[in-house]
A = this chain, B = another copy of it.
Amino acid sequence: MTSAKYDVLGIGNAIFDVLVQTDEGFLAAHGMTKGGMALIDEARALAVYKAMGPATEMSGGSAANTIVGIASLGARAAYVGKVKDDQIGKLYSHDIRAAGVAFETSAASAGPATGCSYILVTPDGERTMNTYLGAAQDLMPDDIDPAQIAASSIVYLEGYLWDPKNAKDAFLKASKIAHDADRQVALTLSDAFCVDRYREEFLQLMRSGTVDLIFANESELHSLYQTSDVDTALGQLRKDVRLGVVTRSEKGCMVASKEGVVEVPAFPIDKLVDTTGAGDLFAAGFLFGLVRGADHKTCGKLAALAAAEVIQHIGARPQVSLKELAKKSGLPV
């Protein structure tokens, strides 16, 4: 194993977020499942957007948010994702590069527009996402640069990549290159409905060792093992993957490995504004801890800190330096 150029490289659907604060009635009127991520086509995107109030726009995309968080903590990060070379794609490319992330995936010159997620944030802070994948549908195995993957300590992948038609091949290609270079591969299960769509494939990825580390929230874990009993699910998770990190919102997280289960409390917050990006930034803090060689408890604390920052404002990217924030809290950066 040669020394790594990047600490973490993320691969995901490059999605621009269009965020609106709304009420519960809007979700009901438009048949949206609160807290979920629904894939929508262009016609539905137009209809949802037309019905929405005035919005705030910000770059998003699950793995991209994680990677930006890792860069904000001070690690070397890279991202692979597909935008189109349209105005929104240019905003997206700017933002991720301006965050200090290496982003070299070529933008599509034809085909659908840069993907957008229409995100409804209700007064309780919960976010409901309606995602038009757009150009993200065209992420191909050729977009994976073997040298870049082999030069990254951890490759981080999102379960959402199972939705576009060719991205899973890109995912598998990246995993193989990473393991051949003696690197680690992490996967977030992304969303309980996503897990429901691809349960057997995700279990296969875990059991075959295609992924070494899993991030999941409780509902994704329950969906994966089709059980509402958390101990049963955790027991399975510990058998199926080397390291499993389960987030539990304000109850903190559980880090499950062969050695046992470590619990870490959530980080205190003043006010929950918008949960968009909570899981993404949690993963950022945890992965950052891992690449710095921290123990699981410290990884969990860094994760909780990063998640706490992002849920106290609108949007899924950190608004302050996470490195400074971690320093102030006495965490190692």
A interface with B by C-beta (< 8 Å): 18, 21, 49-50, 52-59, 68, 86-88, 91, 94-96, 98-99, 113, 315, 317, 319
Contact = CB atoms under 8 A, between A and B. Distances in A.
A53 B315 contact: no
A87 B113 contact: yes
Contacts of A68: 54
Instruction: State the oligomeric state as a number of copies.
Output: 2
Contacts of A317: 54
A98, A113, A319 — which one has the most chain B CB atoms within 10 A of its CB? A98
Secondary structure dominating the interface of A: mixed
Nearest to A315: B56
Contacts of A94: 49-50, 52, 54-55
A99 B54 CA distance: 6
A58 B59 contact: no
Nearest to A99: B54
Contacts of A52: 94, 98
Contacts of A319: 21
Nearest to A89: B87
Nearest to A59: B54
Given A21-B319, A319-B21, A54 B87 contact: no
Given A21-B319, A319-B21, A91 B56 contact: no
Contact of A56 (B54, B56, B86): B56
